Structure 1
Amino acid sequence: MSDWLDQLPEAAGAYLDGRKPDEVECIVADIAGIARGKAMPAAKFATQTRFYLPNSIFLQTITGDWADIPGQAFTEPDMILTPDFSTASAAPWTADLTLQVVHDVKDQAGAPVPIAPRNVLKRIIELYNARGWKPIVAPEMEFFLVARNTNPAEPVEPPMGRSGRRAAARQAYSMSAVDEYGPVIDDIYDFAEAQGLEIDGILQEGGAGQIEMNLRHGDPVRLADEIFFFKRLIREAALRHDCYATFMAKPIEDEPGSAMHVHHSVVETATGQNIFSQPDGSESAAFLHFIAGLQTHMPSVIALLAPYVNSYRRYVPDFAAPINLEWGRDNRTTGLRVPVSEPEARRVENRLAGMDCNPYLGIAASLACGYLGLVEAVEPKPEFKGDAYSGDESIPRNVGEALDLFAAAPAVRQVLGEEFCTVYETVKSLEYKEFLQVISPWEREHLLLNV
């Protein structure tokens, strides 16, 4: 790889500006979306064409425990990692010149490892491509800036703003609220520019210290890579200013949760035309089939969109999060919203995913449901034109229910890959079992002396 510097994207080359990098981080996203891998001197990176990591990195729970998967070798065989230089990106918060590179993951026979989240998303894209379609996504990221919280027993609090007061809730779209933590936002912009990541817009959301960041539309794998990078750079920007950035679905009581809304459209590969629109600009049958696929199959993949016990605290009526899978035009109370747009930009916004989900898996799950709708040519329920919060809840209410539906969904499991689904289900079941061993402050307060 002596010429590897010539393969860098423009932004990475501009960041180096003719200098030689000191270190390269070789990374992949695990089941939780955490960056795993190894860092090495750039000179050593330049002499190697591949790297190795054990397949057990995909068997680890968020608490650090290890799932026992039937049929998985206990010897932890190595996987082969090769750099995807299109993802090479600066790590501008480090003290030296460091680049990050997302790696492709294959087994020793050269086949994509089916349990690697990035490969799961690529698998779904290939299903679309085989039918002459190209899926397009545009994600929205919501997150909170919060005061440092070094004691997990203490509640999370909003951050202190430049005014000396804590950030206030219910200030959606307020420019002065964003200005309260302007230095953090400035660093987010600077880091993103150094990494070649484009931000479509930043705004204040409804929670105290809650921010929404919109990304441009484009290729699903590239956008998932960008969210993967953004989560890390946002955390680093916050730490520079004595606060935390959190992507928990519901970090603060009585505040809205944080979502990863995903806008979907599909274009015909041969023509580049949006298949959701007819030549006369009206809605196509494919548009309704895609919505129907989301309505039909999304309950089975909530386990991927809401992966933790905390995730389900977000699904509360009138707290800017859906409680069902109704669909409507320009209706933010529904789980599936059709935004106002021109025919060429007609799209469906999936509002179910939490920001705590793995972006590769969240986007893959949503696209899988839409794909099944297109293939099955099913019809959606009638458009919901009222307040969907007044309707019945139609999504799982906890991890256990979600995993039961995931286990009993053959169509979804076939498109995502049975081996991946088995690993994911086992890892999440172990996490849920661990959670059930924890006694909460609420239980001690209300049950210890009263029952």
Structure 2
Amino acid sequence: MDARFVKTVTDARTIVEDRGLDFVKVGVFDIDGVLRGKYLSTKKFFSVLEDGFGFCDVVLGWDANDQLYDKESYTGWANGYADATVVPVIDSCRELPLEDNMLFFLLEFGDRAAGVCPRQTLKRVLAKASDMGFTAAAACEFEFFLFNESPESIREKNYHGLTTFTPGNFGYSMLRASVEHNFYEQLLALCEEMDMPIEGLHTETGPGVLEAAIAYDEALKAADKGALFKTFTKVLAQKNDLMATFMAKWSKNYPGQSGHIHLSLADKNGTGSFFDSAKENNISDTMRHFIGGQQKLMPEFLAMIAPTINSYTRLIPGFWAPTEASWGIDNRTCALRAILGSEKSQRVEYRIAAADMNPHIAIAAALGSGLWGIENKIEPTTPIKGNAYTQEFPEELALPKTLWEAAQALKKSRPARELFGDAFVDHYVITREWEEREFRKAITDWEMQRYFEII
């Protein structure tokens, strides 16, 4: 049986038995989009297929460096970091072609943890879309840098003087793609086998940077694919004595790394909801209000889109990243790019996101704000023509400049609480405030170079 055909508990049992597996791998995405998992024996896996099993809830109570949050909302010392229920996502079954005869299943949190689970948060937004008569499709595209380094060498070098995969700026390079075709072709094949096929793969501007556009799918599956792509691109890189980073910006000398999200809506019959030939630019009222909601709520939801300290180093003028909640038609200087096309292809590109996003949380924010716009008939501003970086915008469209400011905006956002729930907002804000406080403890190279001798 092909892993893509696994849809039921019976299918899951059958494919594992037919492969003669003693173990399978399972994993769940945490708040930062890090895949946390384990091996399960076949016997254990079969016993938990329907009702799930206990997974230590500390994975929702620590940061990307396994440091415990100092404030508690969902979990913490007060509840002894008890188990939370996780349930296998049966139709997420995937081959792990980089391993010998191994299958992988995603997990998602249930019961008391569902309120703060990133995947469940996106599912709540999709349920709202369904109640409004829509289905949502999405696709992620990521830029990522590759280095001729290892986990040991980057630490030995203290992340300085790293050797990139290829030298120089060479966007859309056929030379680089041909010389280094082995890695490109391995990545294309891996993504095809793992059911996250790539539509396009090319070099971007910068030494050793690639961009991959993942094929569109139903929004929940698109988020799964985006998150899995990040993890297994890193796995493939390290197996090739390389390292991949999805930081928003690793060097002040190069543009940041995007994580753009493409979104569209259709009705329950599958007819695209963004196209209306009777309207200007074929933009339907639904699409216009969707953009209006995204634009209006972008400053309030930015912490869900730009989740790290590093995210905000990218959001500066002139580096291919938007600086206000702007929109335009096929305008890449804007935060929201309306892409015109047929009834099937017309969509919105949410360009504010970077490669460091958690796809489940970011898509929940991008989609949820658009649905809120449709529900409340929010009109967007006049679309930007020309360079958005050089134009002035009203104060309400200004984006938070730091993660702390963004977290405070999310904390106060009534639409966020309506869309995602108080449990998610309260917990997520605590995690972002923690990230900012941890950063404040750091002494940066910039400070040392600026102050050590002179001040």
How high is the TM-score relative to the length of structure 1? 0.90
**Which amino acid in the other structure matches residue 156 of structure 2?**
N
Alignment of 1:288-307 (within 5 A): 288-307=288-307
Q: 1:378 Cα shift?
A: 1.3
Q: Which residue of 1 aligns with 2:267?
A: 268
SS at match of 2:436: helix
Alignment of 1:440-451 (within 5 A): 440-451=444-455
Q: 1:290 to 1:7 in 2, by over 3 A?
A: closer
SS at match of 2:434: helix
Q: Which residue of 2 aligns with 1:163?
A: none
Which of 155, 171, 178 does residue 160 from structure 2 map onto? 155
- The aligned length equals 438
CA distance in 2: counterparts of 1:84 and 1:175, whole angstroms:
39
Q: 1:392 Cα shift?
A: 4.3
The answer to whether the aligner puts 1:242 opposite 2:246 as a matched pair is no
Identity of aligned residues (%): 28
Q: 1:280 Cα shift?
A: 4.2
Q: Which residue of 2 aligns with 1:56?
A: 58
Q: 1:156 to 1:370 in 2, by over 3 A?
A: farther
- Of the structure 1 ranges 220-229 and 175-184, higher mean CA displacement relative to structure 2 is found in 175-184
**Which amino acid in the other structure matches residue 38 of structure 2?**
K
CA distance in 1: counterparts of 2:74 and 2:195, whole angstroms:
41
Q: Which residue of 1 aligns with 2:254?
A: 255
Q: Which residue of 2 aligns with 1:34?
A: 34
The answer to whether the aligner puts 1:429 opposite 2:450 as a matched pair is no
Q: 1:9 Cα shift?
A: 6.3
Q: 1:363 Cα shift?
A: 0.6
CA distance in 1: counterparts of 2:225 and 2:107, whole angstroms:
14
Q: 1:4 to 1:288 in 2, by over 3 A?
A: closer
Encode CA deviations 1:206-257: one digit per residue, 9 max, x unaligned. Answer: 1221111112222111011111221122111111221101111101231111
Q: Which residue of 2 aligns with 1:65?
A: 67
CA distance in 2: counterparts of 1:159 and 1:409, whole angstroms:
41
Native 8 Å contact 2:85 2:113 kept in 1: no
Q: Which residue of 1 aligns with 2:229?
A: 230
Alpha-carbon RMSD? 2.6
The answer to whether the aligner puts 1:93 opposite 2:98 as a matched pair is yes
Alignment of 1:183-194 (within 5 A): 183-194=182-193
- Of the structure 1 ranges 420-429 and 191-200, higher mean CA displacement relative to structure 2 is found in 191-200
CA distance in 1: counterparts of 2:12 and 2:252, whole angstroms:
40
Gaps of 5+ in 2: none
Q: Which residue of 2 aligns with 1:122?
A: 123
The answer to whether the aligner puts 1:105 opposite 2:104 as a matched pair is no
Q: Which residue of 1 aligns with 2:133?
A: 132
Q: 1:127 Cα shift?
A: 0.5
Encode CA deviations 1:119-158: one digit per residue, 9 max, x unaligned. Answer: 0000000011011111111221211112312336333635
Encode CA deviations 1:276-317: one digit per residue, 9 max, x unaligned. Answer: 122547221111111111110011111111111111111122
Q: Which residue of 1 aligns with 2:417?
A: 413
**Which amino acid in the other structure matches residue 275 of structure 1?**
S
SS at match of 2:256: coil
Q: 1:158 to 1:371 in 2, by over 3 A?
A: farther
CA distance in 1: counterparts of 2:298 and 2:289, whole angstroms:
14
Q: 1:411 to 1:44 in 2, by over 3 A?
A: closer
CA distance in 2: counterparts of 1:14 and 1:249, whole angstroms:
42
Native 8 Å contact 2:273 2:286 kept in 1: yes
